[in-house]
Amino acid sequence: MQEEPLPLRMTIQAVAFAAGKHRHQRRKDADASPYINHPIALAEVLSVEANISDATVLCAALLHDTIEDTETTVDELRDLFGDAVTAIVVAVSDDKSLPKETRKALQIAHAAALSHPAKLVKLADKICNLRDLLNAPPADWTAERKLAYFQWAEAVVAGLRGTHAGLEAILDDLLARADRLR
Ligand code: NDP
Ligand code: ZN
């Protein structure tokens, strides 16, 4: 049997790697959904909704929370997925040693200087998190907290504009639904 092309192999490897790293984690929704659903949702947005076929971007989406939220090291990612994927994941990872409010301010300040592929992953991350807040929000969040998150996300997205019209249109639709937050 013929071998799969390299990009598809790397993408499957990224799903499997992220699934292993996030295996004990859950999202904050009432059902405590498996965490891996979120990185897979980013890859689905980029592939299916935005028609992006670049495996470097799709792998970075699948791996985007491994450095921030698991014990994964930069060297580990570089060995398995190479410099391009690793650079994107590093660029979209918050420095967890900083206070939360600082991290949130830095996301706004740094958005415009991100590389094009990092901006694509960041746009998809915000799409998925806003959808979660509308459809499967953290059980204990008030409407005010969800709205504050929407407003912060809008400020981050302002720095990501001019990257992908389709993704930005999806975000605009979501941001326009902030008044439906309960
Ligand atoms: P958090 O950073 O605490 O939580 C949001 C993050 O959780 C997302 O970015 C996402 O990150 C992850 N996540 C996991 N599950 C879900 C889910 N089901 N739906 C959405 N996100 C999920 O939020 P903030 O601190 O930003 O809180 C929002 C606002 O509320 C802020 O503006 C803050 O100032 C304010 N605030 C209010 C508090 C209160 O009312 N008690 C306390 C603290 C803040 P990822 O993509 O990495 O998974
Ligand atoms: Zn994320």
Instruction: Verify whether residue 75 is a known catalytic residue.
Output: no
Which residue among 21, 25, 28 has the greatest number of ligand 1 atoms within 8 angstroms of its CB, and so is best to mutate? Answer: 28
CA of 70 to the centre of ligand 1 (A): 18
Q: Answer positive or negative: Cα dihedral of 147, 177, 155, 126.
A: positive
Nearest-ligand number for the alpha carbon of 137:
1
Work out the average pLDDT over 26-31.
98
- How far is it, in rounded angstroms, from Cα 26 to Cα 68? 15
Instruction: Look at residues 46, 95, 42 and name the one whose alpha carbon lies nearest to residue 64.
Output: 42
- What CA–CA distances, in Å, run from 94 to 91, 117, 146, 172? 8, 17, 20, 24
CATH of 7-181, one of 3.30.2130.10, 3.90.180.10, 1.10.3210.10, 3.40.47.10: 1.10.3210.10
Which residue among 149, 151, 154 has the greatest number of ligand 1 atoms within 8 angstroms of its CB, and so is best to mutate? Answer: 149
| pLDDT on residue 3 | 61
**pLDDT > 80? residue 1:** no
With a Cβ cut-off of 6 Å, ligand 1 is lined by 27-29, 38, 65, 100, 125, 129, 132-133, 136-138, 145, 148-149, 152
Question: Could you report the per-residue pLDDT of 80-123, keeping only the tens digit for each?
Answer: 999 999 999 999 999 999 999 999 999 999 999 999 999 999 99
Question: Could you report the per-residue pLDDT of 9-24, keeping only the tens digit for each?
Answer: 999 999 999 999 999 9
Using DSSP, state whether 52 is helix, strand or coil.
Answer: coil
| pLDDT on residue 113 | 98
Question: Could you report the per-residue pLDDT of 52-72, keeping only the tens digit for each?
Answer: 999 999 999 999 999 999 999
The answer to which of 28-32, 164-168, 178-182 has the lowest mean pLDDT is: 178-182
Do 170 and 48 meet the contact criterion of CB atoms below 8 Å apart? no
Size (the chain), residues:
182
* Domain ranges (residues) in the chain: 7-181
Question: Could you report the per-residue pLDDT of 37-57, keeping only the tens digit for each?
Answer: 999 999 999 999 999 999 999
CA of 38 to the centre of ligand 2 (A): 7
Mean of per-residue pLDDT scores for the chain: 96
- What CA–CA distances, in Å, run from 101 to 55, 95, 97, 98? 33, 12, 12, 8
pLDDT tier at 182, thresholds 50, 70, 90: confident
pLDDT tier at 2, thresholds 50, 70, 90: low
| pLDDT on residue 6 | 84
Nearest-ligand number for the alpha carbon of 64:
2
Q: For residue 83, with 0-12 CB atoms within 10 Å meaning exposed, 13-18 middle and 19 or more buried, which class applies?
A: exposed
